[in-house]
A = this chain, B = another copy of it.
Amino acid sequence: MHNPVPEVSSDAVYDVIVLGAGPVGQNVAARARAGGLSVAVVERELVGGECSYWACIPSKAMLRPVVAVAEARRLDGARQAVTGPVDAAGVFRTRDRHVSSWDDTGQAQGLVDLGVHLVRGHGRVDGPRRVAVATPGDEIVRLAARHAVVVCTGSGAAVPDMPGIAEARVWTNRTATDTSKVPARLAVVGAGPVGVEMATAWQGLGSAVTLIAREARVLPQFEDFAGDLVGAALRQAGVDVRLDATVTSMRRPSPTGPVTLRLDDHSEVEADEVLVAVGRVPLTGDLGLESVGLSPGLWLDVDDTCRVRGIDGGWLYAAGDVNHRALLTHQGKYQARIVGEAIAAQAAGRTLDTSPWGRHAATADLHALPQVVFSDPEVAAVGLSAERAGRDGRAIRVVDVDLADTVMGARLYADDYVGRARLVLDSATDHVLGVTFVGFGVTELLHSATVAVAGQVPVSRLWHAVPSFPTISEVWLRLLEALRDAR
């Protein structure tokens, strides 16, 4: 499909225009450039996006020293070497280095080095294949796309409307990752991955954290045992975990004083700062989407090539958080590679392969989506949970393994190891549909499951994938034995 150059009066025409220069936009641009296309990327804030400056990277930089010290403390012989607390100043120093002190010069140069035209400002779709950028100098730069416009603007923290929340000046993920002062008391509202990770980090850095969750357990989107084990560990680390609790109002009577949160059981929690981590909203409210017949403020509905549905000519794509397929950086980058290559392939007149697991279909979003929560113990899951697979009406088999009971590599990894794994099998095909690992040091184990699920490796072959002894990955042998012996 060779699109004609649209008739525009604009200054600049590119093959592809990308809105948003986070990791997703960067990867779209890189793949489109690799396909020989000209690319403009529009960024209103920092090149590198939320992930680089206020999410994945700073949060993991803050968590890793906390977990490393906890890991040493869990072993007789190592414990004795650890005598002091984590040094928050050192942690912030490392974090600042990893986020380049919130300076995007390096990442912007990276785009330029790719031959991308970087346009600073707020980009809005301005009719078919057109983008208008409001620059920091209040000029309007008009761009036109020969082939595609790709929305990669991501998501922002959802902040619920609630009495007193403005006065409380709550933290979002941004404040929680760019602050360098440890509050004596931190209340965290929301116990999804962000809430749990930040509760872990700040408790480790010295705050007395209260974690407030509406649900009956933390991490409700995972297998139940994940929330049970992580919730218990948070409590053991000193976090005050309040479950089945909803915040109904906040007040901060003195600007320099504490915040009081009122819960639905009429109890109160006092804290020096409050992090709200109750979800994400799409950053589509001010993108000019109404100019092409879409409703602003909604997640963008896309097909498996991440093409926005309902657009004449199919020139609009959306990749990353903004399409709501998977709110995870790595998955956005995966979509971005597919989008960039699909646009380049079509521009070159090639047919797309959009069959399942084909080159131009983001099939893994649906069937092999991996996620890690960098809590302590860690949670690492891919594919379908037992509950989800059952809801889909599939014939499944589910096996669980306790790592401390059955995996020598786990017992050697930590005294009093805590961990559990679950495997969900498609009874009809003998393919693994999903795996969840919870435990100390299981993060890097996840990719074995991701390869098994995405690779559709049958169980008969997985018996030949021998886990090295004595590693934690021997949990795979225990899972296979559980499947075998339950038959």
* Measured CA separation A464–B334 after assembly (Å): 8
Chain B residues with Cβ below 8 Å from A446 are 468, 471, 473
Q: Is A390 an interface residue (CB 8 A)?
A: no
Residues on the B chain within 8 Å of A69, using CB:
72, 78, 81-82
Q: A77-B65, A84-B83 are in contact. Are A468 and B380 (CB under 8 A)?
A: yes
Interface set, chain A 64-91, CB cutoff 8 A to B:
64-66, 68-69, 71-72, 74-91
Min CB–CB distance A237 → chain B (angstroms): 15
Point out the residues of chain B lying under 8 angstroms from A71, CB to CB: 68, 71-72
**Cross-interface CB contact of A468 among B80, B372, B413, cutoff 8 Å:** B372
Within 8 Å by CB of A444, from B57, B83, B442, lies B442
Cβ of A452 under 8 Å from chain B? yes
- A469 interface neighbour in B333, B442, B456, Cβ under 8 Å: B333
Interface check A191, CB cutoff 8 A: no
Docked-complex contact A330 and B467, CB < 8 angstroms: yes
Asked if A455 is at the interface (CB within 8 A of a chain B CB), the reply is yes
At the interface, yes or no: A339 with Cβ under 8 Å from chain B? no
A450–B465 contact, CB under 8 A? yes
* A445, closest chain B residue (CB): B444
* Interchain CB contact under 8 A, B87 and A81: yes
Contacts of A337 in B (CB 8 A): 463
Instruction: Specify which of A328, A370, A371, A466 lies most central, judged by the most chain B CB atoms within 10 Å of its CB.
Output: A466
A63 CB, min distance to chain B CBs, angstroms: 9
**Residue of A56, A337, A409, A447 ringed by the most chain B CB atoms within 10 A:** A447
Does A399 have its Cβ within 8 Å of any Cβ on chain B?
A: no
* A441 on interface, CB distance cutoff 8 Å: yes
How close is A487's CB to chain B, nearest CB, in angstroms? 11
Q: How far is the CA of A456 from the CA of B455 in the complex (A)?
A: 9
Please, which residues of chain B bring their CB within 8 A of the CB of A474? 330
CB distance from A414 to the nearest CB of B (A): 8
Q: Which residues of chain B have C-beta atoms less than 8 A from A93's C-beta?
A: 76-77
Stretch at the interface among A148-156, A252-260, A357-365: A357-365
Chain B residue, CB-CB nearest to A467: B447
Chain B residues near A81: list those with CB within 8 A: 69, 82-87
Tell me, yes or no, whether A307 is within 8 Å of chain B by CB. no
Residues of B within 8 A of A447 (CB): 445, 448, 465, 467-468, 471, 473, 476
Interface residues of A in 43-67 (CB under 8 A from B): 51, 56-57, 60-61, 64-66
- Specify which chain B residues have a CB less than 8 angstroms from the CB of A371 in the assembled complex: 468
Task: Specify the chain B residue showing the minimal Cβ separation from A335.
Answer: B466
Contact of A466 among B75, B98, B330 (CB under 8 A): B330
Give the chain B neighbours of A333 by CB distance below 8 A. 466, 469
The answer to the question of A457 belonging to the interface, with a C-beta cut-off of 8 Å to chain B, is yes
Q: A450 to B448, Cβ gap below 8 A?
A: yes
List the B residue with the shortest CB-CB distance to A432.
B451
Known: A60-B412, A66-B78. 17 other contacts (CB 8 A): A23-B469, A57-B412, A69-B81, A76-B93, A79-B87, A80-B90, A333-B466, A334-B466, A363-B464, A368-B465, A443-B471, A444-B444, A444-B473, A445-B445, A451-B465, A454-B461, A456-B461
